[in-house]
A and B are shown apart, each in its own frame.
Chain A
């Protein structure tokens, strides 16, 4: 499976935008880019996913580079509740068995 690289940690101020980068230089043409996040002492939750075009939902936006070798998760206004570990995961279109393989993720801290 293609791998992703994320910074270990990032800091943000409350109510400011946050850009969480993810590099996936070996991504294949049929890999979807998924983001999940894990709040402290909880199970992960789905955030967003995309293939080529930028995506928006109520939680975040996903900006995908034209060559698809990197992507950025954007939280438009960080809140204290957004402090979590954010995982960028590649999933092939024909995702065998549907399993997710988690990397180390980025631990986001939000300062009031």
Chain B
């Protein structure tokens, strides 16, 4: 299957600082990337959908000014957590796909290994 990487795999930062997480599709061009957040013992929660060259679409309740998403190329999307606070500590996971315009229900998403963010 296709490979998606994330960097860094873990990060510890002080409250009030900003943290950038990169998501790369290594062997395919991903027109669409997704960002998820997962708290301990909980399921993945979709934060936003990112299409290459356009603004991200955020899910209800996700602050777009706090979680900045950039998808400048077909192989790279970044998530910046601005002014991070301890409640932002979580496991952040990206996924990538090239959805078909028709029949998107059969598309496979390829997930990165995740980035564990700890805000002190």
A residues bordering B, Cβ < 8 Å? Answer: 30-32, 36, 38, 41-46, 49, 85, 87, 91-105
Contacts and interface: CB of A to CB of B under 8 A. Distances in A.
Contacts of A44: 44, 93, 95, 111
B95 A43 contact: yes
A38 B112 CA distance: 11
A95 B106 CA distance: 8
B87 interface: no
A91 B105 contact: yes
Interface residues of B, number: 32
Interface stretch (B12-20, B78-86, B96-104): B96-104
Nearest to B32: A98
30 contacts: A31-B105, A32-B106, A41-B114, A43-B4, A43-B93, A43-B94, A43-B95, A43-B111, A43-B112, A44-B44, A44-B95, A46-B109, A46-B110, A87-B43, A91-B105, A93-B104, A93-B106, A94-B103, A94-B104, A94-B105, A95-B99, A95-B104, A97-B32, A97-B57, A97-B99, A98-B34, A98-B109, A99-B34, A100-B95, A102-B46
